[in-house]
Amino acid sequence: MSIESLDVRYRPARGNTVKTPRPTSLTSSYGCTYDAWNRLVKVYVDVNTNGDYDTGTDTLITLNEYDGLNRRAKKHIDTAAPAAPDGVDT
Ligand SMILES: [Ca+2]
Ligand SMILES: [Ca+2]
């Protein structure tokens, strides 16, 4: 596989990566969402392939929470990812 075949997409206005290859399957990808301060908030499997995160449909594998000083205060992860993502652990 060549680097040119990877599907990586950016949101041009802000330069944030909105689609990135999965580590275990480079031909598949994860979606990424950011808040108004360009902080990575969600990484998800776009189950319905519409390019947006949909609660209840897409599988969330990372959820980051930040404090008022832009520090990541909490990171929720899906320990089943990347092999078999089933949503962030509670
Ligand atoms: Ca979706
Ligand atoms: Ca999980």
For the stretch 17-73, pLDDT in tens is: 999 999 888 888 999 999 999 999 999 999 999 999 999 999 999 999 999 999 999
Q: Higher model confidence: residue 31 or residue 7?
A: 31
Cβ atoms < 10 Å from Cβ of 81: 23
pLDDT of the residue at 18: 94
- 66 within 8 A of 74, measured Cβ to Cβ: no
Distance 38 CA to ligand 1 centre (A): 20
Distance 69 CA to ligand 1 centre (A): 30
Distance 83 CA to ligand 2 centre (A): 11
Q: Which of 71, 72, 54 is nearest to 63 (CA)?
A: 72
Residue 7: pLDDT above 70? yes
Distance 67 CA to ligand 1 centre (A): 27
Ligand closest to the CA atom of residue 86:
2
Distance 32 CA to ligand 1 centre (A): 11
How far apart, in whole angstroms, are the C-alpha atoms of residue 22 and residue 28? 6
pLDDT of the residue at 79: 97
pTM of the predicted model as reported, rounded to 2 decimal places: 0.85
Residue 13: pLDDT above 80? no
Distance 27 CA to ligand 1 centre (A): 17
pLDDT of the residue at 3: 66
